[in-house]
């Protein structure tokens, strides 16, 4: 700043301080309305220091939109460059679940059925698919 501007700035600043002091004293010492009318023009209004509500709402909305767009861009990039998930092979069924027990061979199932006075041959006739699983296991 040049000297003349500095001087003008200092004068305006000093005048503003005096105006603020006059307003602060107004509550105790009643000033004439003429003095207040002259000094009130020098004090900036609060509304000039604030952004209008619509502008503030627009700025906030823009910030939220930018944040959402950045998030979705990250999601889209991740989906585009996704690596396939290795899927394990389905395990081969090697046993029969019967009465909350797992039987891996026909001999163990036959013993369990005989202990309960059931016939293995009747069970095998009624459950051919389970018998096929046990037969495949016993062939190995």
Q: What is the mean pLDDT of residues 47-70?
A: 82
Domain spans of the chain? 3-61, 96-139
Tell me what pLDDT residue 84 has.
83
DSSP 28: T
Please calculate the CA angle 122-123-126 and round it to the nearest 5 degrees: 85
CA distance linking residue 109 with residue 101, whole number of Å: 10
**pLDDT mean across residues, the chain:** 78
Q: Which of 71, 64, 77, 19 is nearest to 44 (CA)?
A: 19
Tell me what pLDDT residue 81 has.
83
pTM of the predicted model as reported, rounded to 2 decimal places: 0.36
pLDDT for residue 21 is more than 80: no
């Amino acid at each position: 700043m040049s000297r003349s501007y500095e001087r003008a700035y200092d004068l305006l600043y000093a005048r503003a301080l005096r105006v603020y002091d006059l307003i602060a004293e107004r509550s105790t010492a009643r000033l004439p309305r003429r003095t207040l009318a002259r000094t009130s023009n020098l004090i900036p209004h609060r509304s000039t220091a604030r952004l209008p509500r619509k502008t503030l709402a627009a700025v906030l909305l823009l910030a939220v939109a930018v944040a959402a767009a950045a998030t979705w861009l990250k999601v889209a990039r991740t989906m585009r460059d996704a690596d396939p998930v290795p899927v394990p092979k389905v395990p081969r069924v090697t046993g029969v679940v019967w009465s909350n027990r797992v039987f891996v061979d026909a001999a163990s199932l036959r013993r369990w059925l005989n202990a309960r006075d059931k016939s293995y041959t009747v069970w095998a006739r009624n459950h051919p698919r389970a018998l096929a699983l046990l037969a495949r296991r016993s062939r190995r």
